[in-house]
Structure 1
Amino acid sequence: MSTQKTSGVSYTVVDVAYFEQRALKRHARVWSLWALGVGAVISGHFSGWNLGLASGGWGGMLIAAILIAIMYLGLTFCIAEMSPALPHTGAAYSFARTTMGPWGGFITGLCENVEYVITPAVVVSFIGSYMGSIFGTPPEFQPVYWIFGYIIFVGLNVVGVELSFKVTLVVTLAALACLVAFWVSAIPVMDFSRWALNIGVGPDGKAVELPNGGGPFLPFGIGGALAAMPFAVWLFLAIEQLPLAAEESVDPKTDMPKGIMAGMATLIVSAFMILWLNSSVANGAFGLSTSLEPLLDGFKAIYGTGIASLLALVAVVGLIASFHTIIYAQGRQIYSLSRAGYFPRGLSVTHGGRKTPHVAMIAGAVVGLAIMLAIWFTLGVEAGAAAIGGTLLNMAVFGAMLSYVMQALSFILMRRNMPNIERPYRSPFGITGAVLTILIALVTIYFQLSDPIYRNGVLGVAIWFAVGIAYFAAFGRHKLVLSPEEEFAMSKGTAEYKSY
């Protein structure tokens, strides 16, 4: 092995054996990638988005959803162009590394790391809440659900990429089937004016219920619509994880853009159907504005509470789909940063026979679970549950918004500074789409910072960043490896990309 120094960082040139210990297996085609993207997001159509109704009412939530959809369209078109041009499993980190150097790559990777470690922790806490209501277990039993959830789905992801993608496809289709069943059930009994427009403004400026509906389209004005944007993010959050599967895709240069855009089209249809129909049945927008189980509440409004446990099982499918697919993304994200030396190299070793990044997945799961348990036992049952479902959720969204800014900026820099790089796909939105992504992400961050609850999440991300940057400055930057994405970046896109 030899060492090279450049731009304040040191690279170790490793032999082929290093990469053989970190090999992945190609398997994914277009529909596997579609399922990976849709499955990661779909839990946000089951719960989370609805809390924005309290900030903007139904009309405000609609405007927020449209703005966020525009942001994600801009982002996914950028990713659809960059991922086949830079077909590395590092995704956001490798995009930024190619255009902004090692520090830019590491900071972007750290942003995504917050999202992919914290989001499954939040989702498994929602799964635990559903399971507790189904089986009637006491709140103190929740950590048992979390532990078993991680064991089962990390285990499925470790077994092999073929099984992982098969499970992803099955649970994603099942989750979509649940949503379609709800839409079909809701259409005959919906009353949009009565239920979706049942939010008014009280003397204190907060939402109040209008018993007969017929309220204003924008009860809190355009400001309320903007304040709802952080909640609308849950309708699309994590679709950007698809490029993490680049080195496990059979033909990333053609399949990746198709999978990303097909996934985005599916999510746009589902998002606006659930916003329209979930709000248009009994209890309406006001009831949903504080609900932790909006889809389940919608099913109960249609079919009654007599089959509540069965309906809860149906509703938990969406959470399982997202939990399973984000565990996949978490492992690949940690793996890519570790293989290049930004994180300790041992985290990127793959399973000898199955070629899955088992060490990275287990490490990410342990960190997420440890954070949950620390909060739970420190704050107690009620306050701990609120912090996990609130502060941790906000950390994930804040980390995601920062990564979107960095990825869109990477796209702009790639277009300007690397005009001759091979691009199997070109974004029809171009730089305009990237600029819109940045602007909408920054507005979303502003409204996160305006909310005291969200600010606690921002503080958590700041701590995460401080620890990560301190590690990289002291150790990581001297231990980088000339991995495929690093070699490609150092050549300014002129070298042929190697895949091990």
Structure 2
Amino acid sequence: MTERSALSTDLPSGSATGVSYQDVSDKYFEQRQLQRHAGFFTLLVLGVGAVIAGQYSGWNLGLSQGFGGMLAATLIIAVMYVFLCSSIGEMAAALPHTGGAYSFARTTMGPWGGFTTGLAENIEFVLAPAGNMFFMGAYLGAIFGTPADAQPLWWIAGYAVMLLLSMRGLGMSMRVVVIVTIAAVAVLAFFCLAAIPHVDFARLALNLGADSAGKPVELPAGHGPWLPFGATGIMLALPFAVYMFLAIEQLPLTAEEAHNPTKHMPMALMFGILILAVLALSIVFFSASIPNGAFALSTSGEPLLDGFRSLFGHTASKILAGVAVLGLAASFLAGSFAAGRNIYSLSRAGYLPTALSVTHPVKKTPNRALCAGSLLALGVLMAFWFTFGRRDNALMGGVLVSMIVFAGMISYIFQSLSYIRLRSLHAGLKRPFKSPFGIFGAVVTILIAGATLLFQFVDPVYKWAALGAAVWYLLGLSYFGLYRRHHLVLSPEEAFAVSGGRRGMPD
């Protein structure tokens, strides 16, 4: 890396911000190219697909706070995501780099802000597909009757299939995710329609109360309180409501692979979050309102499968659940690809080892980044499984959700701050899309995300998961502060930020 890249010519070194840039040749970027494949419909389905697994499993743990607590939390979080997606849509159209959240924060808050945001998103996107794979393993084990101890074999097989698929190229990968996501949405719609004749809301959705010790207890006759734990229950349910929407913000990571990101990215984000909000509210209502009710569902590892069992019996439900696994597979695949692109963008800019961003010479897929993210996710799953997961599946699922939500909330706060600063620092920047909610929407997002983050540390069961994610986050920041900040590269995101927008805009 001796010949200075044309991209870095005449740009400042960055030493004033406490970072140093290494010289790279033009070949550096030739080895790190992506191809454009995605139009509006593909982006829309990718956004929905990234999230859809959260409506199959994980969210139901929030019902331990009562149906009313979970419903209110879902409404609050839906509002937050509408505001968040509006802000992200404006930034993604104005800054169509594959760095996504890192790119937004790097432009407005410098390299430290960029890495602080990118690292939070990295933790979220590594753990989110891991969580999806964990829940998918529970579904597959229930369908095929495999021993509980065999769950890790499902995880290994799932990651192997994903990596093999990525080697076929991005176009093939996106087509598979699109097909699987459409099937997954159809399964949810079918479940809601099939549940209508069996709804007994007052007896089943309200069959959870609080005992004298403040613990959830089943009310066999139903007709319990909407909020057995009051406003505190709503706040404690927020992280699980987040899981029904979390990861749609990954869409900007595909900006350099989209045909027209400035036009299609905001549209895909906004339409996607509206579709997810309708699905989320429907799933919460119908799942809790049919046998066996909210209390049983609050500890289920495969809530949709349990719902199908109550509607169709064990034999038919296995067939339907086999189709239902597609929802988890869609989010697993989309999430894994997002993790790879996050690692790719941070590596291309030197925040992570640069070898991770080399793409396939023909397919132009970031296979090294995908492998790195997959190995890290599998390592976390195995560590959790052999320490406490095989003794308590529900606890492991809740821990994964809590860690994912912790990282997501950090990312949302910084992205909203980036939006506010972009409005003031780059007022003249061309904005093909403008958020209808403006700075007000960004401030509300910060308040809701901050409250969600705070109450994670109040939850007596899952606060340790949030603390674990916080330690991971601090270790990553230390790595950057002690070493990587002296080895950055003027990637397109960096060049754009350093030059004040004169350089680095993708073609």
Q: Give the TM-score, by structure 1 length.
A: 0.96
Deviations 1:93-129 (A, max 9, x none): 0100000000000111110111111111121111111
| C-alpha displacement of 1:303 | 1.1
For residues 184 and 389 of structure 2, the distance between their equivalents in structure 1, rounded to whole angstroms, comes to 32
Which moves more between the two structures, 341-350 or 3-12?
3-12
Which residue in 2 is equivalent to 1:48?
58
| C-alpha displacement of 1:386 | 5.5
Q: How many residues align?
A: 497
Which residue in 1 is equivalent to 2:254?
245
Which moves more between the two structures, 352-361 or 193-202?
193-202
Which residue in 2 is equivalent to 1:287?
296
Q: Unaligned 5+ residue runs, structure 2?
A: none
For residues 14 and 133 of structure 2, the distance between their equivalents in structure 1, rounded to whole angstroms, comes to 43
Asked if residue 390 in structure 1 is aligned to residue 398 in structure 2, the reply is: yes
| C-alpha displacement of 1:479 | 0.9
| C-alpha displacement of 1:378 | 4.4
Which moves more between the two structures, 195-204 or 337-346?
195-204
Q: Provide the secondary structure at the position in 2 that maps to 1:305.
A: helix
Which residue in 1 is equivalent to 2:32?
22
| C-alpha displacement of 1:436 | 0.4
Q: Give the TM-score, by structure 2 length.
A: 0.95
For residues 176 and 486 of structure 1, the distance between their equivalents in structure 2, rounded to whole angstroms, comes to 38
Deviations 1:5-60 (A, max 9, x none): 421111124332111100000010111111111011101111111111111x1112
For residues 259 and 325 of structure 1, the distance between their equivalents in structure 2, rounded to whole angstroms, comes to 15
Identity of aligned residues (%): 53
Q: Could you tell me whether the CA contact under 8 Å between 1:157 and 1:327 is conserved in 2?
A: no
Asked if residue 414 in structure 1 is aligned to residue 422 in structure 2, the reply is: yes
Asked if residue 8 in structure 1 is aligned to residue 18 in structure 2, the reply is: yes
For residues 466 and 217 of structure 2, the distance between their equivalents in structure 1, rounded to whole angstroms, comes to 29
Which moves more between the two structures, 213-222 or 314-323?
213-222
Asked if residue 437 in structure 1 is aligned to residue 445 in structure 2, the reply is: yes
For residues 224 and 485 of structure 1, the distance between their equivalents in structure 2, rounded to whole angstroms, comes to 42
Asked if residue 37 in structure 1 is aligned to residue 37 in structure 2, the reply is: no
For residues 308 and 267 of structure 2, the distance between their equivalents in structure 1, rounded to whole angstroms, comes to 33
| C-alpha displacement of 1:199 | 1.9
CA-based RMSD: 1.6
Which residue in 2 is equivalent to 1:186?
195
Q: Could you tell me whether the CA contact under 8 Å between 1:154 and 1:327 is conserved in 2?
A: no
Q: Unaligned 5+ residue runs, structure 1?
A: none
For residues 70 and 366 of structure 2, the distance between their equivalents in structure 1, rounded to whole angstroms, comes to 39
Q: Could you tell me whether the CA contact under 8 Å between 2:240 and 2:401 is conserved in 1?
A: no
| C-alpha displacement of 1:251 | 0.5
Query: Which of 305, 322, 329 does residue 313 from structure 1 map onto?
Result: 322
Deviations 1:195-223 (A, max 9, x none): 11222222222222222222222222222
Asked if residue 82 in structure 1 is aligned to residue 91 in structure 2, the reply is: yes
Task: List 4+ stretches of structure 1 deviating above 4 A.
Answer: none
**Counterpart AA for 1:142:** Q
Deviations 1:273-306 (A, max 9, x none): 1111111111111221111111111111111223
For residues 462 and 215 of structure 1, the distance between their equivalents in structure 2, rounded to whole angstroms, comes to 37
Asked if residue 274 in structure 1 is aligned to residue 283 in structure 2, the reply is: yes
Q: Provide the secondary structure at the position in 2 that maps to 1:307.
A: helix
Which residue in 1 is equivalent to 2:109?
100
For residues 313 and 140 of structure 1, the distance between their equivalents in structure 2, rounded to whole angstroms, comes to 20
Which residue in 1 is equivalent to 2:500?
492
Q: Could you tell me whether the CA contact under 8 Å between 1:372 and 1:388 is conserved in 2?
A: no
Query: Which of 318, 329, 333 does residue 324 from structure 1 map onto?
Result: 333
Go from structure 1 to structure 2 and tell me whether the alpha carbon gap of 1:292 and 1:98 turns closer, same or farther (over 3 Å shift).
Answer: same
For residues 349 and 284 of structure 2, the distance between their equivalents in structure 1, rounded to whole angstroms, comes to 42
**Counterpart AA for 2:134:** S
Which residue in 2 is equivalent to 1:369?
378
Q: Provide the secondary structure at the position in 2 that maps to 1:420.
A: coil
Query: Which of 452, 461, 475 does residue 467 from structure 1 map onto?
Result: 475
